[in-house]
Chain A
């Protein structure tokens, strides 16, 4: 399994990446939406995308909308991982095309639970 982790925070990419590696998932990283689109072109469609909302250059919501418009990425499970806690924001993200939504801060068990909901084999 291969996951694309999109977050402008190296700290968050490290935390999520380490948890994903523990469940035998290869991780590709991007620091914003534009970099993520470039990673998709370079590496092809991953099995899973985790994306932050607030990022420079292209934010997570814009990235989700752009990716979902491309037939190649219509079906890939996407999860928004963000500090945006308002219900309106969550609704916006789901309308744009994410399949799950995880608010920061989160712990390992919460992330694994959400991954399980996306159909990832986590051992939970």
Chain B
């Protein structure tokens, strides 16, 4: 079983190693996903264990991640840069979580949405872990959804 602590440890590892960004578990979930340009990344795990990993962050964090991944100046970051970077962040967090669930299983290509005018749900799943990391003052929410079938 993957715990919130496992998810947080993986998140800290990914942000710290790949992007040199500090983070810590935040007790408050103050991420407002109705904000324009917030990002939502999702990657599915299929096989012995079935489910998905959802990664959501603020526009500010999206731009910061893009700056670090693509080595851009703050003013150079485009929406496509944020989407590509959020996809890779989702992929890395999801891939490392996949290593903790019963295998064999495979990881899907990540999908990313930017914006606020949408509803997001994963039918047939239940939330099995949920953490909010505070990364450079910005919330990053990671949710592990496990298939109920």
Residues of A within 8 A of B (CB): 8-12, 14-15, 18, 54-56, 82-86, 88, 104-107
Contacts and interface: CB of A to CB of B under 8 A. Distances in A.
The 8 closest A-B pairs by CB, nearest first: A83-B95, A85-B99, A11-B69, A105-B18, A105-B17, A11-B88, A9-B88, A105-B14
Contacts of B106: 54
A88 B103 contact: yes
Interface residues of B, number: 25
A86 B92 contact: no
B84 A83 contact: no
Contacts of B108: 54
B69 A105 contact: no
B71 A83 contact: no
B2 interface: no
A37 B129 CA distance: 40
Contacts, number: 67
A14 B108 CA distance: 22
A11 B82 CA distance: 10
23 contacts: A11-B70, A11-B84, A15-B71, A54-B91, A54-B95, A54-B107, A54-B109, A55-B109, A83-B91, A83-B96, A84-B98, A85-B95, A85-B96, A86-B99, A86-B103, A86-B104, A88-B103, A88-B104, A104-B95, A105-B14, A105-B17, A105-B92, A106-B18
